Structure 1
Amino acid sequence: MNLTVTIHTLPDCVNCERTEQFLTHSGIPHDSTPLPETGPIRDLITEHGYQSAPIVTVTDDTGKLIDHWAGLRPDRILALKSTTR
């Protein structure tokens, strides 16, 4: 199964930069995009009460959201790394 990892970022966000570095260092392909003001990602933030950036989403081949989290989470990235090998 191919996974798509996307980092939804804010400008000048240290944790966004560190998350991207950690994903890169872990060998996990990912995309980075600015955090939108409206839409499904904002709905996810509201629904889960996320209060820190980045918002990381993981989708499967069909585009189904299978995981997500907010902030710098090396533990989640390491867990993701074990599922992508």
Structure 2
Amino acid sequence: MTGIVVYTTGDGCMQCRLTKRLMDDLGLAYRDIDLTDPVNDSAREYVTDDLGYSSAPVVVVDDRDHWAGFRPDRIQNLLSRLVTAQGC
């Protein structure tokens, strides 16, 4: 895995905040990219045009593993896979 990226729409997004809070609580490292910041126009195009999402947050683990919305089940599954991969 190259690193988890959480694409958000800023602090006003409850699902974005919940996603980041759960990932923080579980100790999952991620990069947070605010799609409302004009400097992140290329990231917004990637999320909407390439991945096809129209709501936030969008969590991208790799090219084949990504989802939109607050998904505690997917986050827990990701943690389990990472722990297994690290042999812990």
- Whole-angstrom distance in 1 between the partners of 2:31 and 2:52: 23
Structure 1 or 2, whichever has the larger Rg, is 2
Any idea what the Cα deviations from partners look like across 1:13-60, whole Å, max 9, x if unmatched? 1111110001111221111111233x365244335542320111113x
| TM score, norm. by length of structure 2 | 0.72
* Unmatched segments (≥5 aa) in structure 2: 84-88
2:83 pairs with 1:80:
no
* Unmatched segments (≥5 aa) in structure 1: 60-64
2:74 pairs with 1:71:
no
Residue 7 of structure 2: aligned partner:
8
| TM score, norm. by length of structure 1 | 0.75
Residue 19 of structure 1: aligned partner:
19
Kindly indicate whether the alpha-carbon contact (under 8 Å) linking 2:47 and 2:58 is maintained by their aligned counterparts in 1: no
Q: Could you say which structure has the higher helix fraction?
A: 2
Residue 42 of structure 1: aligned partner:
45
Kindly indicate whether the alpha-carbon contact (under 8 Å) linking 1:6 and 1:57 is maintained by their aligned counterparts in 2: yes
Kindly indicate whether the alpha-carbon contact (under 8 Å) linking 1:10 and 1:34 is maintained by their aligned counterparts in 2: yes
Q: Provide the aligned C-alpha RMSD in A.
A: 2.0
Q: Could you say which structure has the higher strand fraction?
A: 1
Residue 28 of structure 1: aligned partner:
28
Kindly indicate whether the alpha-carbon contact (under 8 Å) linking 1:52 and 1:70 is maintained by their aligned counterparts in 2: yes
